C-alpha cells in the first residue's frame, strides 16, 4: 500500500507537470499541495492501515454500483441510492494520520544521486558553513549551538532517515527554526552534496558509536577503471552484490563469481592484479572513510559488501568472512539472531562468505523514509 501511495503521488505530479498545472522549483516539478500522503503513522499503528483499506474498499464498491446503475436502467435508482449511502458511510481515517505537511520540493531527488564525489564536495561545504553549530559529528554540542535559543537538531540521529530528502532540501534552502536560509550561499548542486555528506557522516558516527550502521546507508557511486569489464561506475551494478577491497589485493582476494569486486585506493596506473576493476579516485576512498567512521590511512585491509539493492551490509578487517561481519540488519532479524545466540552456543561459521551472502539475501533492507519506500 505504501508503494501504491508513493507511485500514485509521483505519477500524479509528473502528470500535472506535463499538463503545465504544476510549477518548477530548481529544475524539478514542484508539489502544488500543502499536504502529501504519508505512511509513517501506518507503520506504527496497523489499525490505521486497515481503516484506510476498508475505506478504499467501500469506495470501490460504491463506484462499482454506480457503474452498474449506468448499465442497468431498471435498478438505477436503488443502485444509485446504495452507492451514495456507501460513500456517505465510508469510515475514512483521520486525515492527519495518513498525510504529512509538504513543501514544493518534497518529491525532489538529488540529480547526482549518492556519489563519492558528491559526499566529498559536501564535506568541504559542511566544514565551511555548518560545523560551527552542528559540530564534526553532527550532534550540535558546540558552544555556538548551545548559545542559540533553539538547539540545532542532532544530524547523527534518525532525523535524516525519517524525513524526505526533498523536505530536508527545502529546510536547507529556506531555513528552519534557528537555521538561516542558505539559498543565497549555496547553489542547487552544493545543497544536494551537503545532504549526501550529512547522511554519510551520520552513518560513520553511528558505526563509531555502536559498532553497526544503525540505519541503512547506500554504497556510494564511484568511477571505475576496469581491465576487461565495460563498467565505468559502480552504479551500473545495481542488482548485483559488490565487494570493496581497500588496498592491494593479496592471495585469495581475487574475483568471486557471486560478487562484483572493486580494488579501492590503489595508486593510479598500478596493475589491478587479481581484481579486474579499481577505483583510483581519491574521492572514493574518502567517501568510504566517512561512511565507516575510519581515517583513510587506517582503512587498508578493510573489505565491504553491498547487497543487490545497493545497501552496504557487512565489513571485515581481514580474515575469513562470517555472519558476525554483517553490520546492517533488520530489527526483526537482529532480534531473531539474539534469541538464537541465547538458546545455544554459536558454532564456527563453516560457510564463510557463502553463509554471509545467504544471510544478507534472507534479510533484505526494507527501508521507509518519510513514509516512502526506498
Per residue in 62-93, pLDDT (tens digit) is 999 899 988 888 888 888 899 899 888 888 89
Using 50, 70 and 90 to split pLDDT, how confident is the model at 347? very low
Q: Does residue 344 form part of some domain?
A: no
The per-residue pLDDT for 350 is: 41
Question: Within a domain: residue 343?
Answer: no
Question: Same domain for 73 and 203?
Answer: no
Residue 332 has pLDDT above 50, yes or no: no
Q: What is the mean pLDDT of residues 96-107?
A: 92
Distance separating the N- and C-terminal Cα atoms of the chain: 14
77 falls within a domain: yes
| Residue 215 counted as domain residue | no
Mean pLDDT to the nearest integer, 258-267: 81
If asked whether residues 76 and 121 sit together in one domain, one would say no
Average pLDDT, the chain: 85
**Domain-embedded: residue 60:** yes
CATH number, domain containing residue 303: 3.40.30
363 with 247, same domain? yes
The pLDDT, as a whole number, for residue 266 is: 62
Residues 173 and 91 in one domain: no
Residue 191 and residue 233 share a domain? no
Residue at 134 is within a domain? yes
Our count of domains for the chain comes to 3
**Closest Cα to residue 113, out of 43, 41, 196?**
196
The interaxial angle of helices 282-292 and 116-129, nearest 10 deg, is 70
Instruction: Kindly indicate the confidence band of residue 264, based on its pLDDT and cuts at 50, 70 and 90.
Output: confident
Does 185 score more than 90 pLDDT?
yes
**Residue 80 domain-assigned (yes or no):** yes
Mean pLDDT of 268-279: 66
Determine the structural domain holding residue 198 and report its residue range: 116-210
With 0-12 / 13-18 / 19 or more C-beta atoms within 10 angstroms meaning exposed / middle / buried, residue 41 is: middle
pLDDT reading at 334 higher than 50: no
Question: What's the confidence (pLDDT) of residue 331?
Answer: 60
pLDDT in tens, 225-253: 888 778 899 999 989 999 998 886 544 45
The 10s digit of each residue's pLDDT in 301-319 is: 889 999 999 999 999 876 6
Q: Are residues 368 and 229 in the same domain?
A: yes
Residues 120 and 90 occupy one common structural domain: no
Strand, coil or helix: 22: coil
Helix (H) or strand (E) holding 24: strand 24-25
Amino acid at each position: 500500500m505504501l508503494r501504491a501511495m508513493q507511485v500514485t503521488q509521483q505519477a500524479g505530479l509528473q502528470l500535472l507537470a506535463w499538463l503545465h498545472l504544476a510549477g518548477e522549483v530548481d529544475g524539478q516539478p514542484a508539489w502544488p499541495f500543502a499536504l502529501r500522503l504519508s505512511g509513517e503513522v501506518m507503520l506504527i499503528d496497523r489499525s490505521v492501515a486497515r481503516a484506510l483499506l476498508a475505506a478504499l474498499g467501500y469506495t470501490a464498491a460504491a463506484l462499482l454500483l454506480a457503474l452498474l446503475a449506468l448499465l442497468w436502467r431498471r435498478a438505477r435508482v436503488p443502485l444509485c441510492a446504495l452507492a451514495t449511502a456507501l460513500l456517505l458511510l465510508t469510515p475514512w481515517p483521520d486525515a492527519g494520520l495518513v498525510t504529512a505537511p509538504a513543501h514544493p520540493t518534497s518529491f525532489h531527488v538529488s540529480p547526482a544521486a549518492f556519489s563519492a564525489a558528491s559526499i566529498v564536495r559536501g564535506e568541504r561545504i559542511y566544514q565551511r558553513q555548518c560545523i560551527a553549530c552542528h559540530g564534526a559529528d553532527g550532534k550540535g554540542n558546540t558552544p555556538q549551538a548551545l548559545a542559540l535559543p533553539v538547539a540545532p537538531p542532532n544530524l547523527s540521529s534518525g532525523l535524516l532517515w525519517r524525513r524526505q530528502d526533498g523536505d530536508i532540501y527545502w529546510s536547507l534552502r529556506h531555513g528552519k527554526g534557528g537555521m538561516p536560509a542558505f539559498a543565497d550561499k549555496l547553489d542547487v548542486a552544493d545543497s544536494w552534496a551537503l545532504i549526501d555528506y550529512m547522511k554519510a557522516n551520520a552513518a560513520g558516527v553511528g558505526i563509531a558509536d555502536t559498532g553497526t550502521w544503525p540505519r541503512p546507508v547506500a554504497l556510494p557511486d564511484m568511477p571505475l577503471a576496469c581491465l576487461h569489464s565495460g563498467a565505468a561506475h559502480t552504479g551500473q551494478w545495481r542488482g548485483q552484490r559488490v565487494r570493496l577491497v581497500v588496498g592491494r589485493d593479496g592471495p585469495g582476494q581475487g574475483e568471486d563469481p557471486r560478487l562484483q569486486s572493486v580494488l579501492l585506493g590503489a595508486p593510479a596506473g598500478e596493475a589491478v592484479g587479481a581484481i579486474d576493476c579499481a577505483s583510483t579516485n581519491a574521492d572514493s576512498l574518502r567517501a568510504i572513510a566517512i561512511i565507516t567512521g575510519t581515517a583513510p590511512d587506517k582503512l587498508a585491509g578493510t573489505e565491504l559488501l553491498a547487497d543487490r539493492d545497493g545497501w552496504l551490509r557487512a565489513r571485515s578487517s581481514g580474515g575469513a568472512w562470517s555472519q558476525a561481519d554483517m553490520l546492517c540488519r533488520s530489527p526483526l532479524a537482529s532480534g531473531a539472531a539474539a534469541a538464537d545466540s541465547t538458546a545455544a552456543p554459536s558454532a564456527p561459521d563453516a560457510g564463510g562468505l557463502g553463509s554471509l551472502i545467504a544471510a544478507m539475501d534472507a534479510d533484505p533492507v526494507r527501508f521507509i523514509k518519510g513514509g516512502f519506500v526506498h
